Copies of this chain bind each other. A is one copy, B any other.
């Protein structure tokens, strides 16, 4: 297998783009990534997208995005794994380069959520749950996460400690040019916000936004940013089939594989981007990634452990909560942000001496999870 290098990244600010189509958002990110990589000679395109069939009545987005960037003959395909589409598509793209099949592969994530009413987004997000057992009941992702949140509060932490996951993410988003919500939010404001699904406050939920991010992968030559580990895993889709609903087995399985590939321990990771679509899911992800013991993450978060100089700097540009969560594009944003960190190009978001970064992207309360680990090779 060849080592794979992050040769270029591109992304747009996450916000509501009322006047622009899906393909234009994608093209902006893709062209920026090609410029960053200094090449437009693509061999293959993987498009990560969750909701376009519902939001835009659009399928076959592989060909459509290839056409949009003036590559009308490129092999192109869409990878969909719900909200984990970005991380899962990146995983496939890594294999395409590592195996020697292709020398220059783009993985681009795109999502346009503002074309529909918010309730349609809620419905779409629930489609990551199995209709036959779970989604048909009408339960939302917030509702399912609320059950985990309640269980966690019963044993391990206060509402404020869990809520600090959102507060810290907002702290990190300040002055982030591509973040949807680049401002501070206090724990008092979070706790005073209306309940989305008790005990989850609305200010503990990621929002609705449009975004696109793209990455170009090539074989590693000399030094650079390499993909050190990459894995996807699944779990029982229904929470009621899981032995312990507070352990995300897919996160654990995928991270175990990725750590092994990278030949590192969780404590070797210098920064992480975790899937904090709801505060509780960010907290549980930190635990299932094995950065700390079960039940400890909320208190670590509340005590500054995920800050830039903390034990595990996390969501350094704001995470899903404050940078934004354009579903299928989110996992690609995570990896682009880690690339900025490892390049030492993260500006005031910079984690000092960052050498190893981990991106964790999941869907359906971790019924699918992708974990990708990047490493700066010695310069």
What residues make up the interface of A, taking CB atoms closer than 8 Å to B?
1, 21, 23, 50-51, 53-54, 56-64, 66-67, 71-82, 84, 88, 91-92, 95-96, 98-101, 123-124, 126-132, 135, 231-238, 241, 249-250, 253, 363-364, 367-368
Set B54, B100, B234, B236: member contacting A75, Cβ < 8 A: B234
Residues of chain B contacted by A367 (CB below 8 angstroms)? 60, 63-64, 67
Set B56, B67, B79, B99: member contacting A77, Cβ < 8 A: B79
Set B59, B61, B126, B234: member contacting A62, Cβ < 8 A: B234
Query: With the chains together, A50 CA to B21 CA distance in Å?
Result: 22
Q: Is the CB of B75 within 8 A of A123?
A: no
Q: Is the CB of B237 within 8 A of A364?
A: no
Nearest residue (CB) in B for A78 is B80
Residues of chain B contacted by A232 (CB below 8 angstroms)? 75-77
Nearest residue (CB) in B for A364 is B60
Known: A92-B92, A100-B1, A128-B60. A249 touches B368 (CB 8 A): no
Q: Is the CB of A79 within 8 A of B78?
A: yes
Q: Is the CB of B67 within 8 A of A131?
A: no
A161 to chain B, nearest CB (A): 30
Q: Is the CB of B60 within 8 A of A81?
A: yes
Residues of chain B contacted by A58 (CB below 8 angstroms)? 127, 130-131, 135
Q: Is the CB of B73 within 8 A of A123?
A: no
Q: How many copies of the chain does the oligomer comprise?
A: 2
Residues of chain B contacted by A61 (CB below 8 angstroms)? 80
A278 to chain B, nearest CB (A): 17
Set B71, B78, B135, B235: member contacting A73, Cβ < 8 A: B235
Residues of chain B contacted by A129 (CB below 8 angstroms)? 60
Residues of chain B contacted by A80 (CB below 8 angstroms)? 59-62, 77-80
Q: Is the CB of B53 within 8 A of A54?
A: yes
Q: Is the CB of A67 within 8 A of B99?
A: no
Residues of chain B contacted by A364 (CB below 8 angstroms)? 60, 63
Query: With the chains together, A135 CA to B82 CA distance in Å?
Result: 24
A86 to chain B, nearest CB (A): 12
Query: With the chains together, A368 CA to B62 CA distance in Å?
Result: 8
A244 to chain B, nearest CB (A): 14
Residues of chain B contacted by A127 (CB below 8 angstroms)? 53, 57-60
What are 14 of the A-B contact pairs (CB < 8 Å)? A57-B135, A60-B81, A60-B364, A62-B81, A63-B235, A63-B237, A64-B130, A64-B237, A66-B234, A67-B367, A72-B236, A72-B237, A74-B233, A99-B100
Query: With the chains together, A207 CA to B53 CA distance in Å?
Result: 21
Q: Is the CB of B124 within 8 A of A59?
A: yes
Scoring A59, A129, A364 by chain B CB atoms within 10 A of each residue's CB, the highest score goes to A59
Nearest residue (CB) in B for A82 is B60
